Amino acid sequence: MTHEAYRELIQRAIDEDLSQAEQTVLDTHIETCAECRREYDEYMSLAAGLAKLSKVRPETSFAMQMTPELLRQTVEGAAPAAPKRRVVPLWKRAVPAAAAVVLGVGLSIPMTNGWFDHQEGTGQPDHVALLPEKGQEPTHGPTGQLLPEPPEIKPPPDQESTAALTVELKSTQSEPRLIIREKVETELPMRAVAVAPSDLDQVKEQTGVTVTPEDLAKGKEDAPRPPAEKNGDTSGIASVDEEPLPNDNDHVVVVTVNSTPINVTIEGGRVIVTLAPLSGTQGGTEVAVFELNAPHTSNDTTTVTFTDPEGNVIDESSVPVEQPTAVPRVGDAPSLDILDEAMQSKSQSDPARYSYVTDPVRVVSRHLRELGFAWNAQVSGTQVRDRVAVEQGGVRYVVGLTQPYLQGDGGLWKPAFIARALPVEQPGPQERPVLDYFRGQQEAGVIHSFSELLVLSERVRLGTLVVEAHVEMSGPHGSYESSRSQYRFHLSGDNDGTWKLDGSPDKL
Amino acid sequence: MQDKQIVADALKSQEALSQFLRTVEPFIYQTAYYLTGKKVDAEDVTQESLWKVCRSLNQFQGEGSLRGWIHRVVVNTFREQLRKRKTPTVELDEAWQSSDLSVEEQVETRLTEQSLYQAIAMLPVNYREVLVLRHVHDMSYQEIAEALELTEAQVKTRLFRGREKLRTLFYGGDPV
């Protein structure tokens, strides 16, 4: 054999394409031929380098930006000729950089979704093998392994992700709604855990799977309201009629590991989730995230109990109850004691877990509920790093943050104040005179322009509002100087519900 | 589930299609990233490929694997981008030698992930395509042949030459 022939064997060895006989020929040769041995070593180092190439991910998901209209047309069979509008990557648009970060969070989509990670020899694509086919008895895995017979088997709710099935599931009170299913590489210690919808970071921390409030909100708008009447499956419910209708906040998020919920009953203030193990999960851990309706209780927490099909308790989670309404209070931000100096140190010693504290947007997302926002409020960055925008119920808020311990990239961010954007189009009764004041100043030429009006504090009954405005003043030689200024306005109310300014505002 | 079934499921609803696209997006991006050697170009190719997959998914007939089909879309999109730009191809060895690094620095940069990334991006396009599918996505000769509409022998030739070029680049020796 020539060197050239051995070289080909080496190349094929990289691809594990050699027969046993060929491998022996090669092994024998490189033992005696220094030149081929050197080449072999070089190729193997190169192959090792190639094998380690990063599985890079785009910073922003284009798939998420593709217009629903286009997707709809495709689904309905009329393949659209061309995109109506090219989606401009977020970072090329005039949006604050951090807004892109928020969208990017939703990107953590199953990467190891089975079929695309096709492994030769495993036969079935992974994520399919995990679930029984429709109509098939789910007690037998593809491996033929016999699993415990669960009582009264209902098909796992996530067999198909068709819209029809999803709607059907939403119409019953106690059916879990699949949010996301993902395979992770690591082994996880638990079988299941329940968390509050406001605490999705917990899911990430415990399983490595990212779920966003947007994921939870998806498909909710068009879901029918759960019926108030009893249904056949909820025999365990103490008295459904006396329970208030579940509202959007009466939910818990359930994470299952290598198992799937087959029955959910609500018993008094407790939720009991029966889990059946999934078969065929070799070579990975299957994590699924569901949303459940939770009973409305006066307690501070809802208890979620996980049992096996025989009714043996596997685990129990206590979930803080979501408050039905959440309107943040403008002014000083609630003190988040967890964001203390110890957390600053932890973020440095264990960045994988606590790095969120160094990102203002993630701090606000993580502590939305504690800050007084609804869990599904939309969080995005602004043009300045220390201010984060939160949209909720059509109102825009701004959370101001500071770095009390360490300045710069590694510093922990702590919310300091919550402000509300003054809606210039539709000002409230107390806001109208404030807006008129700035317009008057502009007309009089005292200021050149004003923008970004923020209500920093409001005492409605006393009629005082502290407002921050970004104003441009005329400077010398036709130039403008812009600044952020704060004003305290005093207002007095008339009997007809209108307010007017009580003197000039104090400039703070 | 067969690939055809996956496609049928993806076409059932907007949500399913959207989820499907989100699932394949990272793989598309990885191919684009290593083919183009530039993040910005990779983003363009990814975006264009997603549109194409979205538009023509209903034409997938189940001949060959779905992932092969998708990677063909990506490779074709990449080739279109090259044609449009008429980017002058920088020859690998030439570009490497013209870098301002001293010999010591070049030794130090050998076979780091970054240097490998740059080196792949400077390989002739034919070699690059095969190498990326083989090593980034761990596709078999046969799968690559299907995706790129080549024979397995052609796949091997290109792959072996590409790797040979990389080896001589990092370790010296006579280029083949």
User: Does any CB of chain A come closer than 8 Å to the CB of residue B110?
Assistant: no
What does the H/E/C string look like for chain B? CCHHHHHHHHCCCHHHHHHHHHHHHHHHHHHHHHHHCCHHHHHHHHHHHHHHHHHHHHHCCCCCCHHHHHHHHHHHHHHHHHHHHCCCCCCHHHHHHHCCCCHHHHHHHCCCHHHHHHHHHCCCHHHHHHHHHHHCCCCCHHHHHHHHCCCHHHHHHHHHHHHHHHHHHHHCCCCC
Specify whether the CB–CB gap between A363 and A339 falls below 8 A: yes
Closest CA to A105 of A212, A202, A199: A212
Considering its fold, how many domains does chain B have in total?
2
Give the pLDDT score at B86. Answer: 55
Establish if B136 touches chain A: CB-CB under 8 angstroms: yes
pLDDT tens per residue, range A439-451: 998 898 888 888 8
- Interface touch B21/A66, C-beta < 8 Å: yes
Of A289, A320, A351, the last residue of a domain is: A320
B-chain residue closest to A126, CA distance: B1
Over residues B99-109, the mean pLDDT reads 44
- What CATH code is carried by the domain that includes residue B111? 1.10.10.10
**Contacts A182 to B, Cβ<8 Å:** none
The b/e string for A410-434 (b: 16+ C-beta within 10 A; e otherwise) is ebbbbbebbbbebeeeeebebbbbb
Q: Which residue has the tokens 């286009």?
A: A70
Across the interface, whether the CB atoms of B29 and A56 are under 8 A apart is answered yes
Short-list A177, A175, A174, CA closest to A161 = A177
Of A101, A124, A147, which closes a domain?
A124
pLDDT at A297: 54
The reply to whether A200 and A311 lie within a common domain is yes
What is the rounded CA–CA span in Å between residue A272 and residue A235?
12
Say if B107 is an interface residue toward chain A (CB within 8 Å). no
State the SS3 of A304-333: EEEECCCCCEEEEEEEECCCCCCCCCCEEC
Domain extent at residue B32: 1-89
Q: Which pLDDT value is given to residue B127?
A: 93
Q: Are A300 and A445 within one domain?
A: no
- The candidate with the shortest Cα–Cα distance to A194, out of A186, A184, A206, A182, is A206
- How many CB pairs (< 8 A) connect A and B? 158
> In a 3-state reduction of DSSP, which class is residue A51?
helix
pLDDT of residue A74: 65
Candidate from A53, A58, A116 with C-beta closest to B23: A116
Claim to verify: residue B101 and residue B167 sit in the same structural domain? yes
Q: Do A405 and A344 meet the contact criterion of CB atoms below 8 Å apart? A: yes
Lowest mean per-residue pLDDT among A193-197, A253-257, B115-119: A193-197
- Note the pLDDT of residue B63: 77
Q: Which residues 6+ apart lie within 8 Å of A284 measured at CB?
A: A112, A126, A183, A184, A185
Domain membership of residue A56 (yes or no) is: no
Here the tokens at position A289 are 């995230």
Contact A63 B15 (CB under 8 A): no
What integer is the mean pLDDT of B114-134?
Answer: 91
Cβ distance of B22 and A79 shorter than 8 Å: no
pLDDT greater at residue A70 or residue B149? B149
B43·A42 Cβ contact <8 A: no
Q: 3-class secondary structure for A422-464?
A: CCCCCCCCCHHHHHHHHHHHHHCCCCCEEEEEEEEEEECCCCE
DSSP for A222-289 reads TSPPPPSS--TT-TT-S-GGGSPPP-TT-EEEEEEESEEEEEEEEETTEEEEEEEEPS--TTSEEEEE
If we measure between CA atoms, which residue out of A260, A267, A286 comes closest to residue A207? A286
Q: What are the residues whose beta carbons fall under 8 Å from the beta carbon of B114, sequence distance 6 or more? A: none
Determine what percent of chain A is predicted with pLDDT higher than 70.
67
Residue B137 and residue B75 share a domain = no
CA distance linking residue B22 with residue A218, whole number of Å: 15
Give the angle B102-B103-B106 at the CA atoms, nearest 5°: 85
Interval A394-417: pLDDT, tens? 789 999 999 998 888 889 999 999
Please report how the helices B152-171 and B141-148 are oriented relative to each other, as an axis angle in degrees rounded to 10: 110
Of the candidates B13, B55, B156, the beta carbon closest to that of A79 is on: B55
Other CB atoms within a 10 A radius of the CB of residue B124 amount to 14
Which distant-in-sequence residues (6+ apart) come within 8 Å of A232 by Cβ?
none
Mutate to test the interface with B, among A87, A109, A131 (most CBs of B within 10 A): A109
Which pLDDT belongs to residue A314?
80
Q: B87 CA to chain A: closest CA distance, Å?
A: 22
Q: State how far the alpha carbon of A7 is from the alpha carbons of A2, A13, A34, B170, in Å.
A: 9, 10, 13, 17
- Choose the closest CB to A89 out of B43, B66, B173: B43
Contact between A41 and A32 (Cβ < 8 Å): no
DSSP state of A76: T
Whether residues A46 and B163 touch (CB distance < 8 A) is answered with yes
Residues B104 and B81 in one domain: no
Cross-chain CB nearest to A72 (options B14, B66, B134): B14
Q: Which residues of B touch A178 (CB under 8 A)?
A: none
Flag if A42 and B171 touch (Cβ within 8 Å).
yes
Tell me the per-residue pLDDT of A136-178, one tens digit each, with 9 for 90 and over.
333 333 333 333 333 333 333 333 332 322 222 222 345 778 8
Question: Which of B18, B43, B55 is the closest to A80 by Cβ?
Answer: B55
A105 compared with A507, residue with greater pLDDT: A507
How far apart are alpha carbons A3 and A34 in whole angstroms? Answer: 11
Q: Cβ A162–B16 below 8 Å, yes or no? A: yes
Q: What residues of chain A lie within 8 A of the CB of B51, using their CB? A: 66, 82-83
CB within 8 Å of chain A, chain B residues 31-70: 33-34, 42-43, 46-47, 50-51, 54-58, 65-67
Domain that holds residue A45: 3-51
Q: Which residues pair with A270 in a beta bridge?
A: A267, A303
As to burial, measured by CB atoms within 10 angstroms (0-12 exposed, 13-18 middle, 19+ buried), residue A37 is: middle
Q: Give the 3-state secondary structure of residue A86.
A: coil
- Indicate the DSSP class of residue A123: -
CA torsion sign for A241, A245, A251, A254 is positive
Tell the residue number behind the tokens 């098939």, with chain if given: A136
User: Is A55 in contact with B26 (Cβ distance < 8 A)?
Assistant: yes
Nearest CA in chain A to B112: A49
Where residue B41 sits, what CATH number does that domain have?
A: 1.10.1740.10
Q: How many angstroms separate the CA of residue A373 from the nearest CA in chain B?
A: 28
Q: Which of A134, A218, A124, A104 is nearest to B18 (CA)?
A: A218
Q: Do B17 and A74 touch (CB under 8 A)?
A: yes
Q: What is the ipTM of this complex?
A: 0.87
Distance between CA A419 and CA A457 in Å, rounded? Answer: 7
Task: Examine the pLDDT at A257 and tell me if it is beyond 70.
Answer: yes
Between residues A41 and A337, the one the model is more confident about: A41
**Chain A contacts of B49, Cβ < 8 Å?**
none
HSE (CB half, 13 Å, CA atoms) of A121?
3
Residue A426 included in any domain: no
pLDDT band at B110; cut points 50, 70, 90: low
Instruction: Identify whether residues B74 and B117 lie together within a single domain.
Output: no
The residue out of A421, A445, A463 marking a domain boundary is A421
pLDDT at A296: 56
Chain A residues within 8 A of B159 when measuring between CB atoms: 11, 15
Of A50, A74, A116, the CB nearest to B27: A116
State whether residue A193 is helix, strand or coil: strand
Q: Do A53 and B23 touch (CB under 8 A)?
A: no
> Would the pLDDT of A268 be above 90?
no
- Is B56's pLDDT higher than 90? no
Distance from CA of A45 to the nearest CA of B (A): 8
A221/A313 same-domain check: yes
pLDDT band, residue A299 (cuts 50/70/90): low
Are residues B53 and B25 located together in one domain of the fold?
Answer: yes
| Whether B151 and B163 share a structural domain | yes
Q: Give the pLDDT band of residue B139 (cuts 50, 70, 90).
A: very high
How many angstroms separate the CA of residue B31 from the nearest CA in chain A? 9
A163: in domain: yes
B170 to chain A: which residues are within 8 Å by CB? Answer: 42, 45-46
My answer on whether B113 and B81 are in the same domain is: no
**Pairwise pLDDT comparison (B146 vs A243), residue with the higher score:** B146
| Spatial separation of the C-alpha atoms in residues B54 and A272, rounded to whole Å | 41
Are residue B81 and residue B16 in the same domain, yes or no? yes
One domain, residues B8 and B64? yes
Option in B24, B58, B140 nearest A116 (CB): B24
CA torsion sign, B30 to B31 to B37 to B40?
negative
Instruction: Say whether A420 sits in a helix, a strand or coil.
Output: strand
Closest of A74, A63, A86, A125 to residue B28, by C-alpha: A63
For residues B54 and B134, the answer to whether their CB atoms sit within 8 Å is no
Chain B nearest C-alpha distance from A338 (Å): 35
Q: Look at chain A and report how many structural domains it folds into.
A: 5
From B89's Cα to the closest Cα of chain A, the distance in A is 22
Query: What is the full DSSP assignment across A362-399?
Result: HHHHHTTTTTT--TT-EEEE-SSTTEEEEEETTEEEEE
Do A337 and A394 reside in the same domain of the chain?
yes
- Nearest CA to A80 among A89, A68, A64? A68
Residues B100 and B55 grouped into a single domain: no
Whether pLDDT at B98 is above 70: no
Task: With beta carbons under 8 A apart, name residues in chain B contacting A2.
Answer: none
Residue after which a domain boundary falls, among B89, B108, B139: B89
* pLDDT number for residue A149: 33
* Inter-chain touch A49–B66, beta carbons under 8 Å: no
* pLDDT range class, residue A96, cuts 50, 70, 90: very low
Interchain proximity A46–B111, CB inside 8 Å = yes
Query: Residue A70: its chain B contacts at CB < 8 A?
Result: 54
